[in-house]
Structure 1
């Protein structure tokens, strides 16, 4: 019997090694898409404009459209207020002090307020930057980001590995970057 169990364990282990990394990524991506779809079915989002890209799996729902005409271009400096959540509703990060306090993630060592970063140069996760790329100054959106465009298989404080992320974003300001603010190559 022990040989039989060992044989089954060995077979399963060897077969699992036959699954390529890209197949694993596809399984995770498909799971993320289904989880986003399930969430939206259970929690409809009121919006005035929508963006859905089945190939990327990213969904963006505008709560406010400013029509300011000021869209970010790399390397613009942007200021963004945000709330980052998981599909279970837990908040993992925010630029709002009161939201941090209400969700027991307040850190007295950090400043609260809009984050300021250079757009399009990799300072934030790809899904966050992608959502900002579709916004204009003054727009407010809710963006659903599959794990591959978030933190992927790497866990972060408050974020398990392979987590779909939800960001409530408010693009507060789009401005130019000075030469000394550009990142070193």
Structure 2
């Protein structure tokens, strides 16, 4: 009996020692490289609208405009500006996990009768996931775009509701309105 306890304690100590030797930054780098590979495969297998494109491949960020009102990206939306958007969020499997559009939610099995489906109004820089905020800040009112980004710009290793940890995300965004915040002089 004492031998089994000693063996179990030794095994537990070995596992703890091994886990403590893993560099968390290296783990994050591995996750990021896996995200980049998954995003590249998604882009190879899926056709996206291309009225205008923007990407930072080294960061794993890709945007494709379905509707564009100018040939360049916007640089006038600042932190604390309030935006009004319609959106649909998907995983790289194309499974919808959220939408501000009631019919899209119903069509994809994510409808919640307790929710008020309407365009989302929010200030940038105060609580949205950074990939979504970054993409929205590059848009102009009246534009529709699809953005794809790695998990660290989404919900990271924690995941969220029906979004698994370390999931690259896709958002279809329609920018309806922008109200300048205090950073505009």
Looking at structure 1, the residues matched to 158 and 99 of structure 2 have their Cα atoms a distance apart, in angstroms, of 20
Q: Secondary structure of the equivalent of 1:35?
A: helix
Q: CA deviation at 1:51?
A: 1.3
| Aligned partner (choices 175, 178, 181) of residue 179 of structure 2 | 175
For residues 78-112 of structure 1, the C-alpha deviation after alignment (integer angstroms, 9 at most, x for no partner) is: 00100000011111100100011111111111111
- Where do 5+ consecutive residues of structure 2 fail to align? none
Aligned equivalents of 1:108, 1:177: Cα separation in 2: 33
Determine if contact 1:79/1:117 at 8 Å carries over to the other structure.
yes
* Alpha-carbon offset, residue 14 of structure 1: 3.9
Normalising by structure 2, we get a TM-score of 0.84
Aligned counterpart for 2:89 among listed residues 84, 88, 99 = 84
TM-score (norm: length of structure 1): 0.84
Take 1:53 and 1:177, find their aligned partners in 2: how far apart are those partners?
Answer: 27
Contact 1:59-1:143 at 8 Å conserved across structures? yes
Aligned to 1:48: 51
Q: CA RMSD in A?
A: 2.5
Instruction: State the 1:59 CA deviation.
Output: 0.8
Quick one: distance in 1 between partners of 2:135 and 2:40?
A: 18
Matched position secondary structure for 2:85 = strand
- Within the alignment, does 1:137 sit opposite 2:164 as a pair? no
Find the aligned partners of 2:35 and 2:151 in 1 and give their Cα distance: 7
**In structure 2, what is the Cα distance between the partners aligned to 1:40 and 1:9?**
43
| Equivalence map 1:88-99=2 (5 Å) | 88-99=93-104
Partner residue of 2:34? 31
Q: Distance in 2 between matches of 1:58 and 1:12?
A: 36
Secondary structure at 2:77's aligned position in 1? Answer: coil
Q: Whose radius of gyration is greater, 1 or 2?
A: 2
**How many residues are aligned here?**
176
